[in-house]
Amino acid sequence: MVQEKKKKCTVCFEPSGLCIDVPPGSTLLKAAQQVGVYLTSICGGDGYCGKCKVIVDEGQFESRPTTLLTPEEMRENVVLACQTKVLSDMVVTVPKPHALETSQILLDTDTQRFSQLAAEVPEGVFEFEPLVQKLHVKMSPPTVSDNTADHERLYLAIRKQIDAPIMQTGCRILQNLSKMFRESDYDVSVTIGRRGGTTEVIEIEPAERYRTNYAVALDLGTTTVVAHLVDLTNANTLDTEATYNSQINFGEDYIRRIIYAEQNDAFDEMQNRIVHDVNNLIVTLASRKRIDLQDITTVTCAGNTAMIHFILNLDPTQIRKEPYIASAGFVPPIRAAEVGIQVNKRALLYCLPSVAAYIGSDIVAGILVTRMYTKDGVSLFADIGTNGEVVLGNKDWLVCASSSAGPAFEGSGVKHGMRAGAGAIEKLQIRRDGSSQIKTIGDGRPAGICGSGLLDTLGELFINGIIDRTGRIKQNHNPRVREGEDGLQYQIIQPGNGYQEIFITQADIDNLIRSKAGVFAAIRVLTESTQIKPDDIDIIYLAGGFGNYLNTKQAVTIGMLPDIPLEKIQYVGNTSIAGAKTVLLARKALETAEDIANNMTYFDLMSHPGYMDEFIRAKFLPHTDLSLFPSIKAQAKQVKGS
Amino acid sequence: MVQEKKKKCTVCFEPSGLCIDVPPGSTLLKAAQQVGVYLTSICGGDGYCGKCKVIVDEGQFESRPTTLLTPEEMRENVVLACQTKVLSDMVVTVPKPHALETSQILLDTDTQRFSQLAAEVPEGVFEFEPLVQKLHVKMSPPTVSDNTADHERLYLAIRKQIDAPIMQTGCRILQNLSKMFRESDYDVSVTIGRRGGTTEVIEIEPAERYRTNYAVALDLGTTTVVAHLVDLTNANTLDTEATYNSQINFGEDYIRRIIYAEQNDAFDEMQNRIVHDVNNLIVTLASRKRIDLQDITTVTCAGNTAMIHFILNLDPTQIRKEPYIASAGFVPPIRAAEVGIQVNKRALLYCLPSVAAYIGSDIVAGILVTRMYTKDGVSLFADIGTNGEVVLGNKDWLVCASSSAGPAFEGSGVKHGMRAGAGAIEKLQIRRDGSSQIKTIGDGRPAGICGSGLLDTLGELFINGIIDRTGRIKQNHNPRVREGEDGLQYQIIQPGNGYQEIFITQADIDNLIRSKAGVFAAIRVLTESTQIKPDDIDIIYLAGGFGNYLNTKQAVTIGMLPDIPLEKIQYVGNTSIAGAKTVLLARKALETAEDIANNMTYFDLMSHPGYMDEFIRAKFLPHTDLSLFPSIKAQAKQVKGS
Ligand code: FES
Ligand code: FES
C-alpha cells in the first residue's frame, strides 16, 4: 500500500514518548537528534557502524539495504535510524543499550560512577588561591582630607590584601560603586578574578556575601562530561555529576563531529549541545545542593582540543586537516555567559591550555595532577580514551604524542563493548575449564564489556592460548569458540537463565589490538626519540575511564604499556577533571599548566618516519620483539607449559 | 477666556519649526528639552537666572510672576520658559541669543573658532605610539613541524613588533581566527589596544587595512564639546569640530545638572545628551572627511570630573556633597560602544584621569600639554572656564585647587555676556574721550562680550577710573554712566545706526570680580602653602576659551593673576583637547597623565582656613594689598596723574 505523502510526519520515540514533526524523507536519526532523543552513532550517520538500531512499531518508512542487520532483526522491524527515511507518522522504540535522552540529566550509576573516577587533586602543592575570589574589603569612608575617589579607594584596599599590580573594572561595576559604598558604609564583598596578569573586579556586594562563592570544574570528554561543584571558600568538593556528551549523535569521535558540523553548518548546534550538557550538570548539582546559580563565579574546563573549540565555538576544522592546527591552544578567560553557561552572568570561564590539535588540555591537566613535570625520574603518562595520548618526561623535558587508534577500549567498534556503566563486565578471568569468572559494575546481569573488561578479555584470551600472537582466534576444539556471522567468535557469557549471550568477535579483537598497538607505538616513538629504556621509567600513570577494577597487569600482558614492574604502574582515573579542579583552587596551578603546555614537545605520529613500523610491530601480542616483554614471555611459556 | 483643557498640547518652536506634544501643565523649558530645542538655563529651571526667555506667539499659558522680565518684555509676550506652563497648543519663538537646536550640529564660526583654540600637542616629547594601533602582521603558515596554534602564532608575531607581555583576545576574534588566517594566507592587519598593562587584540582584518586607522579626541566641556579627528597612521589632525553641550538645558554648570538629574532621575538622559553631542561631532567630521565610522578605533576624552561621570553614567551625586568624592578618578578603558558612541563597535574609549571631584582630567591634560611637570622652575597653570582651576608646581611637586567662582568670564551671569562666538566683543579699549574701540569676532556688529572682552572691560573701567577699587561704578558725570533698572551701568556700545546697546551693570562687574577673586585667592592659597613668591614663578599658563585676542596684561591689571612680567604669561588656549590628542598618539603620555594625576596634591578651598580671607582681599582691584601688584600700582598712579 502506498500512502499519500504528507507535508509533515509526526515521529514519536518510545519509551520517552517524545514526538517531533519532520518533513517526509527525513531520517529517523535526524528526527531523534532534533527532539533530543539519544541514539548511538559512531559513524556519524554514514550507515556502517550499525549502532543506531531502533525498532519501528508503526508507520511507513524506506530503508537502505544493509548487512549490519541480522535476518531476525529485520523480521522484528529493527532498522538503522540513519538509513531510514520517514514516510508517514511513525512510532519508534529505542532499545535499551542507547536509551538515553538528553533531557534525562542524571545518569544514575553509570556516569555517577564515572564521575568518581577522578584523580586526586594534589594537596598542599599549590597555595589555595582561587582564580575567582571574594574578598571582604572594609575601607575607611572618605573625608575632606582623604578624598580619594571610590574606585581608587577600592583598589588601594584590595592591594592591601592581595598582589594585584594591574587591575581592571567594568563600567557596569563603576556605575554602582558610589551607591554601593554609601549603602554599605564602605564595607563590602569584592569578587576578583584573575585574567592573565590582570586582576578584574567582577562584582561588589554587601559584605556578608564574601562567604558565598562556588565554582564548577568540568571535564569535557568526547563521550562523557563530568562536573564537580566546589565551595571556593574552603576548597571542598560538594558534589559531582556526569552525563553523556550529547554531541555523540553527530559522531562518536570528534573528527566525525567536525566533519558533520562542516557539512551541515552545525557548529552553533555543536556548541549548543555541549553547553546544554554543561548547564544540565550545573543545574542538577546546584539544585541538589540548594545553591543559587548566581553564586557560581567560576567555571574551569579541561578537555581535548576539539571539545574546547566546540564549547567556545572556535573553528575546529583545521584540527582534522594537515598540518592539524588549532585555532587556539591558550584561550584567555572569558565570561561563562558569553558561551551560554548559566551561572553568574559575570562569572569567568577558564579553559586549561592545550599543546596541539591532538594533545588537549585534558592531557595537560594529567601532567599537572601527576606532577611528573616536577620529578627527577622519568614518568610515562598514558590516557586511553577516544584517542590514546602519551606523555614522557621529567622536570627538565616533556615529549608527547597522540595515537588515533580509535576508542575500542571505550567499547566502540566492539560488538558487545560498552562504557563503564551498570552491567558492564569490568573484570574477567578465564578459568582452566574455559568458564568465565566475571564481575559487573553494580553486580547485575552482564550487559556488555567495558574498558577494563576488554583489557582482561584480550589478556586472558592470549594468556590462555585462545588467540595467537597475531590475535587470531584458534580453532582448537574449544567449545566456546564458534563460527559467527563474521567468522570465529569467543563466547564469554553463555545465553540462558535470563542471561544474554556475550561474545567477542575476531573483528573486535583486531580493533582492540589496533588500539593497544597505537598506544604502544606512540610510547616507542617517544622513548626511542629520547633514548629512554623501560628500566629508565620510574612510573607509568594510566588515565582513562577504565573502571576501578582495572588490572594494570593486563595492560602489560597485551603489550599496551612497557614491561616494567607492576608496582610502578598506577591507575590514576580521570586526571582531566582533577586538573580542572586544581586550577580552580590555585591560580598558580593555571600558570603551571601554561608552563607545562609551553614546554611539551609534540611529535606528530602521522609524519613520523618510525611510527608505522612501530605500529606494525606492536600489532602482535604482546609485540613482535618479545625481548621487550621479558615478563610476558616467561608467563606465556609457563601457561603453555602447564 | 478659559479654554477647556486638552489631553495633549502641541508646542511648536520657531524659527526651527520643531513641534512636540506635551501634557497640559508641562513647562515650555521641558517641552524645548524634549524636542531638542536649545534654551539657555543657567539656574537649571529654578526661575532665577532669567536666561530662558522665549516669546509666546500663540496659545494659552500660565506664568509665575517674576521680576526678571521688564514691563516691555511682558508686553511683548516674553516669558521665562521654565516658569511657564502650557495650557493649549502653542507657538513660541526662541530669540536669537540662544537659538541653537541640538539637532543643528555644525555651529559655524562660533564653535568652529573655539575648536581651533587648542593648545599645541607637544611634539617629539612622546614617542608616536597610538593607544590603538594597527600592525601589519605577516606570519609563516603552519607546517607539521611548526604546528603552533593560530592564536599563539599571532601572539608570537605581534611580540616581534611590539612589547606586549600580557595579551588578551576576545572570544569573537578567536572564533574567526582560523578562517581569517587561511583566507589571507597568514598576512593580516591586527588592531591592538592598550588597556593598562594588557594589550588587547581588538580586530583582525585583511592586511591592506592596516593603513586605515582613525581616532577622535574629545574635550567634554561643561559648555562646549570639541572633537578632533586624527589619522593614527601619521598623527595628522584631519579636521576639528565643536558643539554646545546640550546638557546645558539642565543647568549651565555641572552642579546644577547633577541636582537636576538627581531630582528627575535623569542620569540616563544626561548621558544620552552628551553622547548624542559626541556622536553628532563624530558623524560630522567623518562625513566631511569621507571616513567610515567603522575605521575609528579610538576615542579619548578629557573633561571635568562631572562630565566624565556623565558620559560613562557613573554616579556623580557625591561630587557635590561633602567630602566631594568622585566615583572614579582613573577610569579603565572601555568599549566606546558601551556608552553609545557610534564608532567601530570594538573601539576603545579612554578617559584621561582626574585628581579630585573639582580637578578633572581637563586639568591633568593641561599639565601634560604645558609640560610643567618636567620643569625645574615653578609654573602656574590657571584654567578659567565654568570653574577656575589652578595648579602650581614643577618636576618635583604639584599642588592644585579649584575655585567655584562661577562662569562669569564665559559670559554667564553677565547681562551682555556671551561665549566666544560671532559678534562677541573680544577686545575693548576705552579711549580718552570715553568712546570704545572694539574688535568683534568675525568683525560683525557687536552682539555681546566674550571672555577676553570682559577681561578688557573690567581692566579698562578700572584703569580709566570709571570704577573704584571695590568695583563700584563712579557717578562722575561720565555721560556713559547711567542709571539702569538695577542701578548704575556703563554703556559700552551706544544704540542706533542698527547697533544694539551694550552695557555692563554693577551686578555684572560684581560677578566678574567674584570670579577673578576666586581664581586669585586659589592661587594665593597654593603659593602661600608652598612658600612660592611671585618672583619664583617662571611662567604662568592661562587656559580657557577666552579668544585669540586675549590681553594677558588685563588679567594682571584686575588682579586675577600674580603680577609677574607679562612675557612670562602665556595664553595656551584649550589644553584639554590638546591633552586628549596627545594620549591618543602616545600611550606613554597616558601613563604620564596617570603619574601627574597621582602626584598632584589637592587643596579643598572650602575647608581651607585661609581661603575666605584671601577671597575677600582679592575682591578689590587689583587687591587690598597693593604691594602684591607693584606694576599696577604704578600704572594706576600714572593714569590718574595724566
Ligand atoms: S550506522 Fe547509523 S549511525 Fe552508524
Ligand atoms: S530662569 Fe528659567 S532657566 Fe533660569
The per-residue DSSP string of A450-463 comes to: -HHHHHHHHHHHHH
- What is the pLDDT, as a whole number, of residue A73? 87
Residue A259's pLDDT is what? 94
CA pair distance A177, A180, nearest whole angstrom: 5
- Average pLDDT value for chain B: 88
Residue in B313, B407, B294, B388 with CA at minimum distance from that of residue B351: B313
Confidence band for B497, pLDDT divided at 50, 70 and 90 = confident
Task: Show the cell assigned to B259.
Answer: 541636582
Question: Using CA atoms, how far apart are residues B115 and B51, in angstroms rounded to an integer?
Answer: 25
Whether chain A has a CB inside 8 Å of the CB on B480: the answer is no
Nearest ligand, measured from the Cα of A413: 1
How remote is the CA of residue B24 from the centroid of ligand 2, in Å? 20
Whether the per-residue pLDDT at B557 is higher than 90: the answer is yes
Confidence (pLDDT) at A48? 67
Which phi and psi (to 5°) does residue B213 adopt?
-155, 115
pLDDT at position A19 is 87
Given this model, what pLDDT does residue B484 score? Answer: 87
Given a contact cutoff of 8 angstroms between Cβ atoms, the answer to whether A417 and A98 are in contact is no
Ligand positioned closest to the Cα atom of B260? 2
336-355 in chain A: CB under 8 A from chain B: 338-339, 354
Ramachandran category for residue A604: left, alpha or beta (phi over 0 → left; psi -120 to 50 → alpha): beta
Q: H or E segment at B173?
A: helix B171-183
Pick the CATH number of A108-119+212-351 from 3.30.420.480, 1.10.1530.10, 3.40.50.2300, 3.30.420.40: 3.30.420.480
Q: Would the pLDDT of B374 be above 50? A: yes
Distance B472 CA to ligand 2 centre (A): 27
Q: Which of B247, B202, B195, B199 is nearest to B220 (CA)?
A: B247
pLDDT tens readout for residues B328-369: 999 999 999 999 998 999 999 999 999 999 999 999 999 999
pLDDT band at B105 (very low <50, low <70, confident <90, very high): very low
Residue A35: band (very low, low, confident or very high) from pLDDT cuts 50, 70, 90:
confident
Largest CA distance in chain A: 99
Q: Which of B165, B327, B607 sits opposite A150 (nearest CB)?
A: B327
- Among all bound ligands, the one having the nearest atom to the CA of A49 is 1
Helix (H) or strand (E) holding A224: strand A224-231
Highest mean pLDDT among A333-347, A463-477, B272-286, B299-313: B299-313
**Distances in Å between the alpha carbon of A61 and those of A99, A124, A273, B55?**
21, 62, 28, 83
Rounded-to-10 torsion of CA B333, B338, B341, B346: 70
Residues 306-335 of B with CB under 8 A from A: 312-315, 317-318, 322-332, 334
The set of cell numbers assigned to A246 is: 550529547
DSSP 8-state secondary structure symbol assigned to residue B586: B
Q: Where in chain B is the domain with CATH 3.30.420.480?
A: 108-119+212-351
CA B181 to CA A384: how far, in whole Å?
Answer: 33
Sign of CA dihedral B310, B315, B318, B324: negative
Whole-angstrom distance, CA of residue B159 vs CA of residue B429: 62
- What percent helix, strand, coil does chain A show, rounded to 5? 35, 30, 35
Is the pLDDT at A113 greater than 50? The verdict is no
Q: Name the more confident of B29 and B16.
A: B29
The CA distance from B178 to the nearest CA of chain A, in Å, is 5
Check CB contact of A600 with chain B, cutoff 8 Å: no
For residue B486, count other CB atoms closer than 10 A to its CB. Answer: 11
Of the pLDDT bands very low, low, confident and very high (cuts 50, 70, 90), residue A331 is very high
The amino acid present at B363, given as its one-letter code, is: I
Are B356 and B329 contacting, i.e. CB atoms less than 8 angstroms apart? yes
Of A197, A314, A323, the CB nearest to B142: A323
- Whether residue B150 lies within 8 A of chain A, CB to CB, comes out as yes
Which residues on A lie below 8 Å from B196 (Cβ)? 166-168, 198
Integer Cα distance of B538 and B567 in angstroms: 10
Residue A79 has pLDDT above 80, yes or no: yes
**Cβ within 8 Å, pair B334-A171:** yes
Q: What is the mean pLDDT of residues B259-283?
A: 92
Reply yes or no on whether the pLDDT at B81 is more than 70: yes
How far, in Å, from the CA of A51 to the mean position of ligand 1? 5
Q: Tell which one of B30, B33, B46, B54 to mutate to probe ligand 2, the residue whose CB is within 8 A of the most ligand atoms.
A: B46
Q: Which helix (H) or strand (E) holds B35?
A: helix B28-35
Length of chain A: 642
**B193 contacts B348 by C-beta, under 8 angstroms:** yes
CATH no. for A9-101: 3.10.20.30
Helix-, strand-, coil-residue percentages of chain B, each rounded to 5:
35, 30, 35
A103, pLDDT greater than 60: no
Whether the CA torsion A227, A230, A235, A238 is positive or negative: it is negative
Strand partners for B378: B537
> A527 and A562 in contact (C-beta within 8 Å)?
yes
| Amino acid A145: pLDDT | 87
Grid cell digits, residue B68: 526678571
Ligand 1: centre distance to CA A81 (Å): 7
CA distance B41 to B35: 16
- Rounded Cα gap, residues A29 and B144, in angstroms: 37
> Where are the CATH 3.10.20.30 domain residues in chain A?
9-101
All residues of chain B having their beta carbon less than 8 Å from the beta carbon of residue A151 are 326-331
User: Is residue B387's pLDDT more than 90?
Assistant: no
Mean pLDDT, range B290-300, rounded to an integer: 94
Task: Please tell me the distance between residue B254's alpha carbon and the centre of ligand 2 in angstroms.
Answer: 15
Say yes or no to pLDDT of A105 above 70: no
Ligand 2 atom closest to the CA of B44, numbered from 1: 3
- What's the rounded Cα separation, in Å, for the pair B200 and A627? 56
Average pLDDT over residues A576-592: 94
- pLDDT digits 0-9 by tens, A198-218: 999 999 999 999 999 999 999
Which fold would CATH assign to domain B132-210? Ubiquitin-like (UB roll) (3.10.20)
Q: Read off the pLDDT of each residue in B468-484 and give the average, rounded to a whole number.
A: 91
The whole-number pLDDT of residue A251 equals 87
pLDDT at A219 over 90: yes
Calculate how far, in angstroms, residue A615's C-alpha sits from the geometric centre of ligand 1: 28
Are A316 and A257 spatial neighbours (Cβ–Cβ below 8 Å)?
no
Query: Which of the four pLDDT bands, split at 50, 70 and 90, describes residue A524?
Result: very high
The Cβ of residue A605 has, within 10 Å, a number of other Cβ atoms equal to 23
- Mean pLDDT of the A553-572 span: 94
- Candidates A140, A143, A150: best to mutate against B (most CBs of B within 10 A) is A150
Written as nine digits, the cell of A487 is 567468522
- Which positions in chain B touch A331 (Cβ < 8 Å)? 151, 174
| Class of domain A132-208 (CATH, top level) | alpha beta
Q: What's the pLDDT band for A99 if we cut at 50, 70, 90?
A: very low
What was the pLDDT predicted at A636? Answer: 62
> Whole-angstrom Cα distance, residue A224 to residue A271?
15
B173, closest residue in chain A (CA to CA): A314
B147, B322, B607: residue with CB nearest A356: B147
Instruction: Please report residues of A whose CB lies closer than 8 A to that of B301.
Output: none
Decide if B426 contacts B441 (C-beta within 8 A): yes
User: Considering chain A, what is the average pLDDT of its residues?
Assistant: 88
Mean pLDDT across A162-166: 93
Residue A634 has a pLDDT of 78
Amino acid at B228: H
Q: What is the pLDDT, as a whole number, of residue B36?
A: 66
Contact A497, A541 (CB under 8 A): no
Reduced to 3 states (helix: H, G, I; strand: E, B; else coil), residue B184 is coil
Q: Which of B288, B291, B284, B294 is nearest to B336 (CA)?
A: B294
**Crossing angle between the packed helical segments A361-370 and A587-599, to the nearest 10 degrees:** 110
CA distance B439 to A443: 104
- Cα dihedral angle (B554, B559, B560, B564), rounded to 10 degrees? 80
The mean pLDDT of B502-525, rounded to a whole number, is 95
Higher pLDDT, B572 or B528: B528
Contacts of A75 (CB under 8 A, 6+ apart): none
* Alpha helix ranges (H) inside A143-241: 150-161, 171-183
Q: Say if B152 is an interface residue toward chain A (CB within 8 Å).
A: yes
Whole-number pLDDT of residue A404: 77
A250 min Cα distance to partner chain B (Å): 21
Q: Which of A19-23, A130-134, B94-98, B313-317 has the lowest mean pLDDT?
A: B94-98
Q: At what angle do helices A506-530 and A611-618 cross, to 10 degrees?
A: 130
Q: Which among A195, A198, A327 is the nearest to B174, CB-wise?
A: A327
With 90 as the cut, is the pLDDT of residue B140 above it? yes
* Segment A507-511 mean pLDDT: 93
Is B361-407+512-641 assigned to CATH 3.40.190.10? no
Q: How far is A355 from chain B (nearest CA, A)?
A: 8
Average pLDDT estimate for B136-145: 94
CB–CB contact B175 A315 (8 Å): yes
* Predicted confidence (pLDDT) at residue A96 exceeds the cutoff of 80: no
Residues A453, A459 contacting (CB under 8 angstroms):
no
Taking contacts as CB-CB distances below 8 angstroms, the residues of chain A near B318 are: 150, 178, 182
Count how many residues are written for chain B: 642
CB atoms within 10 A of CB A87: 18
Instruction: Kindly state the cell numbers that stand for B545.
Output: 576659551
pLDDT digits (tens, 9 = 90+) for A307-319: 999 999 999 999 9
Percentage above 90 pLDDT, chain B = 66
Rounded Cα distance between A564 and A543, Å, is 17
Give the Å distance between the CA of A69 and the centre of ligand 1.
12
A-chain CB neighbours of B338 within 8 Å are 171
At residue A450, the pLDDT reads 87
